[in-house]
Amino acid sequence: MDFYAYQAEARRRTRYFVLAFMLAVAFVTLALDTVAFTLFSARDAGQPQGPFAYAVQHPGSAVFFSLLIIGVIGLASLYKSFELRGGGAVVARSLGGVRIDAGTTDLKLKRLRNIIEEMALASGVPVPEIFVLEHEGAINAFAAGHTPANAAVTVTQGALDHLDRDELQGVIGHEFSHVLNGDMRLNVELMGWVFGLFVITLIGRTILQFTPRGRDRNSAGAFIAFAVAMIVLGYLGLLAGRILQAAVSRQRERLADASSVQFTRNPQGLKGALVKIAALSEGSYLTAPHTESVAHMLFAPGLARAFATHPPLLERIRKLDPHFDPQEIKRVAAQGVRESDPPQEVETHAQMQPGSSLAGSPLVRPLAAASGLGAASGFTAATPVSAVPATARSISAQVGQVESIHIAHAQELRVRLADGLREFADVPGKARSLVLALLLARDAEVRASQERLLTGSLAPVELAAVQQAAAIARTLDPMLRLPAVLQIFPALRRLPLADRQALLKLVADLLNAEQQVDIFEFCLAKLLTSLLTDQMEARAPHGNVTLKDAVQSIHVLFAIMARAGATDDREARTAYETGMQAVLSIPCPPYVSYPDWPRRLDAALPELEALQPFAKQAVVAGLVSTIASDGRLTVEEAELLRTTCALLHCPLPPLLGG
């Protein structure tokens, strides 16, 4: 599945659904106008004169009433959308979800965390918050949120009890497709829109409940008639919203199944989960009272409804296995869907040494050979983390595309990070301490200046926590620093809003304390700022800026990338021109080495974030061409590339060692 094409199509589809929502609002408004104006005319003239005649005679009242209806629907939609800006955790808790901490000792929950953390590391996005619906015996799951920065993945207890690791990984791979491809955003927006239409019914119910049944029967009858009309029309609006949700969901569920197989290279895992749903007495149906509102974002149907949100189970299974025999479902049902065996991978992984070298591990060496990495690619090792695929297009095409090779790599990466980071991944204050510790300079004079700044900004206990975290930060491999931030981000997002804003200011102050900021420090600060801003503001991931509109910003980015991996200006100029010519068909600005590169890049990135999806594809491919021009991949280039991709909302899987 082409990530950029999917993003472009998603933007077009969103515009269509906005139009459909506006048409639904117009229909409800006109219908209520018709009922209300008929009742008003009957009250004024003693007999109905028709809604049009009333509107002509009382244009001010007619316009006011119409705007009132539109305003009520709009404000209700905005209210619900604002409520959902808290991210996927809000949706999970609305169904009774319980958050799972990183330090859980329950083996089934630990297995779930391991799978989700591995998938996040493999795809280059922050670890989502994890919830379990403890009272749901059915097998189901969903991902919710506006962006990966405020995403949450929720699974039912039935999924934990009945699925083995491969099957659970298939389900989580399906949900991560929704995280990476932006399906969650539209799903959550649809929840807000549908609520706006449904609020008309809620108001009608309230009017019906409190309408006095006294002597003035005519007046009471008018109120009752109007309330009934609101209830009926509200339900019609809700029906239109459900049709929209179903139209969005069915095709995306098919694509998510395909992505899950691509991620895991194991169609049997996803197939096994679907077969168990078909065989289990509870199936995938949930008992939570708000299931209807999230039905379009579930892994499998959450309840019976007229407009199906998912393709039939048998159709999905046969897509995975064309030769599937439906009798297998009956055999599994007859045997009973047993609880899955106790997880074993926790004990197996715990025996590995967290400090072992990734580059020389027996896991990564065959992975590098299998994916065409190494000497045949035309790259040589600048560091133990070099060796990337031969063409810029091949790396650019990896955006949003997780492969089994990345998941296998992430499994070892998670083990290396686990012991040192577990305490930071659960406690927001400790996560903040580690971020600040990672930004402390090695130069003694600069570090002393930074520590004075921290002393004036933090309480003594918080300052001691930063100093303690600094010991961990110094031991992290350079290529593990940014993944570490993604691992602890769930704890950072739980900081109060004022603390998150204060953290961003403190990060900026620490960087300003240095005369010379290095690539990692800049990347960490920008990544953290982007993630926290996305988490708080739920910004749209793409804009309408074209390559031609952003030439100067592209020039700044490519000049800085070229210099980051070059040994001299001549080599940097060659790398810059190679990348720019791959992106732009117009004459490129000449190469310039910028001593004040952090300030210039900081100013350029917001415009690049607003690029169209296909323009971002060209930029990413051009950046890889710049890196590839000298046949080396340095740590600085890798960090800057992955951070830039993250800021452009184009998540890039890890560049594997060889």
- Walk me through the domains of the chain, giving residue ranges and CATH numbers: 3-89+188-250 (no CATH), 101-180+253-335 (3.30.2010.10), 364-403+540-658 (no CATH)
Reported as type and span, the H/E element at residue 471 is helix 460-475
Average pLDDT over residues 631-652: 84
> What tokens were used for 608?
């690049």
Instruction: Look up tokens 């570090």; give the residue.
Output: 447
DSSP state of 99: E
Q: Are 143 and 174 in contact (CB under 8 A)?
A: no
Q: Which residues contact 370 (CB under 8 A, 6 or more apart)?
A: 405
Higher pLDDT, 349 or 486: 486
State the pLDDT at residue 361.
32
Is the per-residue pLDDT at 167 higher than 90?
A: yes
On whether the CB atoms of residues 299 and 284 are closer than 8 A, the answer is yes
Q: Mean pLDDT, to the nearest integer, of 436-457?
A: 85
Asked if 575 and 630 count as a contact pair (C-beta separation under 8 A), the reply is yes
- Residue 399, phi then psi, degrees to nearest 5: -60, 125
Q: What is the pLDDT of residue 223?
A: 78
At 215-267, the pLDDT tens digits run 556 667 777 888 888 888 888 888 887 787 777 777 788 878 888 887 777 88
The whole-angstrom separation of Cα 374 and Cα 363 is 15
Express as a percent the part of the chain with pLDDT over 70. 84
Residues 359-384 pLDDT 10s:
333 323 332 332 232 322 333 334 33
Q: What does pLDDT average to over the chain?
A: 80
Q: How far is Cα 255 from Cα 181, in angstroms, rounded to an integer?
A: 10
- Element housing 578 (H / E): helix 569-583
Q: Which amino acid is at 291?
A: T
Mean pLDDT highest for which of 94-103, 159-168, 179-188, 246-255?
A: 159-168
Angle value at C-alpha 260, between 650 and 399, nearest 5 degrees: 15
CA 12 to chain centre: 19
Q: Give the mean model confidence (pLDDT) for residues 341-364.
A: 40
pLDDT for 51 equals 79
Beta bridge partners of 152: 129, 144
Token pair, residue 604, equals 């350029």
The whole-number average pLDDT for the span 330-340 is 74
CB 428 within 8 A of CB 422: no
Q: Does residue 548 or residue 358 have the better pLDDT?
A: 548
475 HSE (CA, 13 A, CB side)? 13
433 touches 421 (CB < 8 A): no
Report the percent of the chain where pLDDT is more than 90.
Answer: 17
On whether the CB atoms of residues 647 and 374 are closer than 8 A, the answer is no
Q: Which pair of tokens denotes residue 156? A: 């039912």
Q: How many CB atoms lie within 10 A of CB 99?
A: 15
Q: How far apart (Å, rounded) are the C-alpha atoms in residues 505 and 444?
A: 23
Burial class (CB in 10 A: 0-12, 13-18, 19+), 516: exposed
Please check the confidence at residue 425 and state whether its pLDDT lies above 50: yes
d(CA 300, CA 309) in angstroms, rounded, equals 8
What confidence tens digit (pLDDT) does each residue in 21-72 have?
888 888 888 988 888 888 877 766 556 667 788 888 888 888 998 999 999 9
CA distances from 64 to 39, 69, 70, 631 (A): 16, 9, 10, 68
Locus of tokens 């298939």: 170
Query: Per-residue pLDDT for 347 more than 60?
Result: no
Residue for token pair 């949930």:
286
DSSP class per residue in 225-286: HHHHHHHHHHHHHHHHHHHHHHHHHHHHHHHHHHHHHHHHS-HHHHHHHHHHHHHSSSTT--
73 vs 10: CA distance, rounded Å: 25
Comparing 348 with 334, which gets the higher pLDDT?
334
Q: Report pLDDT digits (tens) over 4-29.
A: 676 777 677 777 778 888 888 888 88
Dig out the tokens for 436 from the structure.
Answer: 């600040």
Confidence (pLDDT) at 404: 72
Please list, in sequence order, all residues whose beta carbon lies within 8 angstroms of the beta carbon of residue 631, skipping any fewer than 6 positions away.
Answer: 378, 379, 380
Query: Which residue from 237, 371, 645, 156 is spatially nearest to 379, judged by alpha carbons?
Result: 371
Closest CA to 483 of 406, 381, 387: 406
pLDDT at site 383: 37
pTM of the complete model? 0.79
Given 118, 175, 189, 637, the catalytic residue: 175
pLDDT in tens, 524-570: 888 888 888 776 666 667 778 899 889 999 999 999 999 988 888 89
Per DSSP bridges, beta strands 129-133 and 152-156 are parallel
Q: Which residues, at least 6 apart from 140, have a Cβ–Cβ distance to it below 8 Å?
A: 133, 155, 156, 158, 159, 277, 284, 286, 298, 299, 300, 302
Question: Of residues 193 and 158, which shows the higher confidence score?
Answer: 158
In 15-160, beta strands by DSSP E: 98-99, 129-133, 141-144, 152-156
CA distance linking residue 580 with residue 574, whole number of Å: 10
Looking at residue 655, its pLDDT comes to 67
Tell me if residue 451 is catalytic.
no
| Residues paired with 545 in a beta bridge | 611
State the pLDDT at residue 102: 80
**pLDDT attached to residue 126:** 87
Residues in the chain: 658
How far apart are alpha carbons 448 and 436 in whole angstroms?
A: 14
397 pLDDT more than 70: no
Amino acid type, 591: Y
133 has which bridge partners?
Answer: 156
Rg over CA atoms, the chain: 28
Average pLDDT over residues 491-496: 86
The encoded tokens of residue 42 equal 């009957």
The predicted structure's pLDDT at residue 345: 54
Q: Give the model's pLDDT for residue 47.
A: 60
pLDDT given for residue 370 in this prediction: 29
**At 304, phi and psi to the nearest 5?**
-80, 130
**Neighbouring residues of 613: CB distance < 8 A, sequence distance ≥ 6:** 4, 5, 7, 8, 11, 542
Q: Sheet of 152-156: strands edge to edge? A: 98-99, 129-133, 152-156, 141-144
Rounded to 5 degrees, what angle do the CA atoms 180, 186, 189 make?
Answer: 135
Task: Give the residue among 478, 482, 500 at the shortest CA–CA distance from 491.
Answer: 500
